[in-house]
Homo-oligomer: A and B are copies of this chain.
Amino acid sequence: MKILIIGAGLSGTLLAIRMAQRGFQVELREKRSDMRQEEVAAGRSINLALSNRGLKALDQAGMKEEILETCIPMYGRMIHGVDGALRMSKYSGRAEEYINSVSRAGLNISLLNKAEGFENLQLHFASACTDVDLENARANFQNADGTTETVQADIVIGSDGVGSAVRQSLMRNTTKLLFNYSQEFLRSGYKELSIPPAADGGYRIEKNALHIWPRGKFMMIALPNLDGSFTVTMFHPYEGESGFNTLDTDQKVQAFFEEYYADALPHLPTLLHDYRHNHVGVLGNIKCYPWQAYGKSLILGDAAHAIVPFYGQGMNASFEDVRVFDDLVEVHGTDWKLLFQTFQDARAHNTNAIADLAVDNFYEMQDKVADPLFIKKRTLEMQLEQTYPDYYSKYSLVTFKEELPYAQAMELGRKQDELLLAICKKDEVPNLDSVMQQIAAISL
């Protein structure tokens, strides 16, 4: 039984490891050359937030502890006011609930190193899938050395990311498969900057936090790296006063940062260079259905559900795909048709939910975190989490309650939000027991 996995990014490599651990013959092919032999391109040294859902999947592959050693805990959002005032807004009222900053490239390398240790797992780099014969589990590849190859497998799984070639093969069979597809972009993009380590190798700003400079229609964030640096990301509209297309000279960029991000400026010595050289990336959600064809071909991860980064759940959702897929192999064995159908129906509405939550959070992060009513609600949530072990805020339901599917976390979380906002609008100090009784009465 041979499984061909296309795309050796995060979810593809983890899936390859799990399937190899189960004893399947696995072939894992990657378009790019082996990243372990490359310099990471400037502006692409992304770090990501790893949390419970992702950790659970890594745990299944026996890699959780190893990866956690490369992580930096972030206990909350450090909110930077225009005047430089700092306010820490914790992710949870419970000390053991936090998220982790991890290097995307570092994590991918750890996974590739692990994958390489299996005799029943073959890794091929610099081999780009050009198209898939979905019905016959056969894929064509164009290799960087100019040769072409056709690979025949029992099943093909596309974990080849936002530009997925496997998804494009599904798209080419639109009417046969009744393939629903949507791509939707925000009218904001992103650009990465960098805060270097301090002279003594330490951190220039609080290490154990996700920093946010919320400014209403735009924002900047920063996540810590192991070497003392921070990867900074500006999220700005393309057009208008704060637009990337408007801020098109060194003078304008400098003046803009002096006005809106003044406290960060001393920590951004390469600002003008970074701004000039790093590209503006697009932000969008991709949704589609079905994810499988003929019980022979399947997509998962970003290939099936690319999402905007504002809930810190993109990688976690993709790792959760792997965990759910793996659980289903336990149940259905190699009845791939049943397994693929069960998998897509278990996952699609949940990944749609996290996509919608991530767009909501875009507005929350750049705007609402600075709003008094929101802050009051967040304070109440903290008190509830400290007092009641069973209480989870919407953020905590999504981030820390890994056994609850995203769609349910969204529905319950939104109802809680509505209730708490109504309570916080009143002048009285809320009675915690009474609030918890009202929350317990919410039914899905």
Interface residues of A (CB under 8 A from B): 174-175, 178-185, 187, 238, 282, 284
Residues of B within 8 A of A179 (CB): 183, 185
Closest 5 CB pairs of A and B: A182-B182, A178-B185, A175-B282, A180-B184, A181-B183
Residues of B within 8 A of A182 (CB): 180-184
Residues of B within 8 A of A184 (CB): 180, 182
From B180, B187, B238, B282, A183 is in contact (CB under 8 Å) with B180
From B178, B187, B282, A282 is in contact (CB under 8 Å) with B178
Shortest CB–CB separation between residue A188 and chain B, in angstroms?
10
| Given A174-B183, A181-B181, 4 new contacts (CB under 8 A) | A179-B183, A179-B185, A180-B183, A181-B183
Task: A183 to B174: give the CA distance in the assembly, Å.
Answer: 9
Task: A179 to B184: give the CA distance in the assembly, Å.
Answer: 7
B185 in contact with A180 (CB, 8 Å): yes
Task: A175 to B184: give the CA distance in the assembly, Å.
Answer: 11
Shortest CB–CB separation between residue A293 and chain B, in angstroms?
15
Task: A184 to B175: give the CA distance in the assembly, Å.
Answer: 11
Task: A178 to B187: give the CA distance in the assembly, Å.
Answer: 8
Main secondary structure of the interface of A (DSSP, over half): strand
Number of copies: 2
> Could you jot down 13 A-B contacts, CB within 8 Å?
A174-B183, A175-B282, A178-B185, A178-B282, A178-B284, A180-B182, A180-B183, A180-B184, A181-B181, A181-B182, A181-B183, A182-B182, A182-B184
Task: A174 to B163: give the CA distance in the assembly, Å.
Answer: 11
Task: A282 to B175: give the CA distance in the assembly, Å.
Answer: 7
Task: A174 to B187: give the CA distance in the assembly, Å.
Answer: 13
Name the residue of chain B whose CB is nearest to the CB of A184: B180
Residues of B within 8 A of A178 (CB): 185, 187, 238, 282, 284
Residues of B within 8 A of A284 (CB): 178
Task: A183 to B183: give the CA distance in the assembly, Å.
Answer: 10
Residues of B within 8 A of A282 (CB): 175, 178
Name the residue of chain B whose CB is nearest to the CB of A180: B184
Task: A284 to B187: give the CA distance in the assembly, Å.
Answer: 27
Shortest CB–CB separation between residue A218 and chain B, in angstroms?
16
Residues of B within 8 A of A183 (CB): 174, 179-182
Residues of B within 8 A of A175 (CB): 282
Residues of B within 8 A of A185 (CB): 178-180
Task: A168 to B187: give the CA distance in the assembly, Å.
Answer: 21
Residues of B within 8 A of A174 (CB): 183
Name the residue of chain B whose CB is nearest to the CB of A282: B175
Task: A238 to B290: give the CA distance in the assembly, Å.
Answer: 15
Shortest CB–CB separation between residue A182 and chain B, in angstroms?
4
Task: A185 to B174: give the CA distance in the assembly, Å.
Answer: 9
Task: A171 to B180: give the CA distance in the assembly, Å.
Answer: 16
Task: A187 to B238: give the CA distance in the assembly, Å.
Answer: 38
Name the residue of chain B whose CB is nearest to the CB of A280: B175
Task: A182 to B178: give the CA distance in the assembly, Å.
Answer: 13
Shortest CB–CB separation between residue A5 and chain B, in angstroms?
26
Name the residue of chain B whose CB is nearest to the CB of A185: B178
Task: A174 to B184: give the CA distance in the assembly, Å.
Answer: 10
Task: A21 to B284: give the CA distance in the assembly, Å.
Answer: 42
Shortest CB–CB separation between residue A125 and chain B, in angstroms?
25
Shortest CB–CB separation between residue A181 and chain B, in angstroms?
5
Task: A55 to B181: give the CA distance in the assembly, Å.
Answer: 34
Shortest CB–CB separation between residue A171 and chain B, in angstroms?
9
Name the residue of chain B whose CB is nearest to the CB of A188: B178
Name the residue of chain B whose CB is nearest to the CB of A238: B178
Task: A443 to B183: give the CA distance in the assembly, Å.
Answer: 33
Name the residue of chain B whose CB is nearest to the CB of A182: B182
Name the residue of chain B whose CB is nearest to the CB of A178: B185
Task: A182 to B284: give the CA distance in the assembly, Å.
Answer: 13
Residues of B within 8 A of A238 (CB): 178
Shortest CB–CB separation between residue A308 and chain B, in angstroms?
13
Shortest CB–CB separation between residue A252 and chain B, in angstroms?
23
Shortest CB–CB separation between residue A432 and chain B, in angstroms?
39
Shortest CB–CB separation between residue A28 and chain B, in angstroms?
27
